[in-house]
Amino acid sequence: NAGVTQTPKFQVLKTGQSMTLQCAQDMNHNSMYWYRQDPGMGLRLIYYSASEGTTDKGEVPNGYNVSRLNKREFSLRLESAAPSQTSVYFCASSTWDLSYEQYFGPGTRLTVT
Amino acid sequence: ELKVEQNPLFLSMQEGKNYTIYCNYSTTSDRLYWYRQDPGKSLESLFVLLSNGAVKQEGRLMASLDTKARLSTLHITAAVHDLSATYFCAVESNTGNQFYFGTGTSLTVIP
């Protein structure tokens, strides 16, 4: 099992450009999440999808959109990138098994200039 | 909004010493998670604490949860260099499926 995979690993964008970060999991998990990690701020939840067909805002959703394409895939889109969106983005997945223990992907390092 | 505070933010300790990392959170929650992150890497799950009084141990690390005090601790016993990493606690909201992370504790174990 590959677990949670993310593409790309690195990306540099100019202000105003758009891009989509891809995430896929092969663990048959129901829930998927997108986080951003900034120095000194831990991880902050951007959006999550509790199950296929549903998405909800997290702590910091402004400037982002998501699509739960199917049970395996959850994408994050930046429509018009801003320097404040420079960050490391992590995708995670979980399923209910006495808890929602999350499994994280390797991350995407995004720089917006 | 649920707030999660960890302290200390930075911890430098000698091999063989013991220390405790604290995780406080602001509103009621019954589930708390500890993760480890090595530099430039992803997060690895260490412990899942599901109820008041829960205690889990793995090697030199022991985690506990006091939901009434809204406090979790991660205790390190006889630290070794391999434990050097950043440790995060994360609290699950009682409405389910939303997680709030602490700012992390960067641990350096000095030989």
Residues of chain A in contact with residue B96, where contact means CB-CB under 8 angstroms, are 50, 100
Residues of chain A in contact with residue B31, where contact means CB-CB under 8 angstroms, are 99-100
Contact B31, B91 (CB under 8 A): yes
Q: For residues B90 and B34, give the distance between their C-alpha atoms in angstroms, rounded to a whole number.
A: 6
Could you report the per-residue pLDDT of A47-74, keeping only the tens digit for each?
999 999 899 999 999 999 999 989 999 9
Cross-chain CB nearest to B103 (options A33, A41, A58): A41
Q: For residues B36 and B89, give the distance between their C-alpha atoms in angstroms, rounded to a whole number.
A: 9
Q: Quick one: tokens of A106? A: 């390797």
What is the residue-level pLDDT of chain A in tens, covering all 113 positions? 789 999 999 999 999 999 999 999 999 999 999 999 998 778 999 999 999 989 999 999 999 999 998 999 999 999 999 999 999 999 999 987 767 789 999 999 999 99
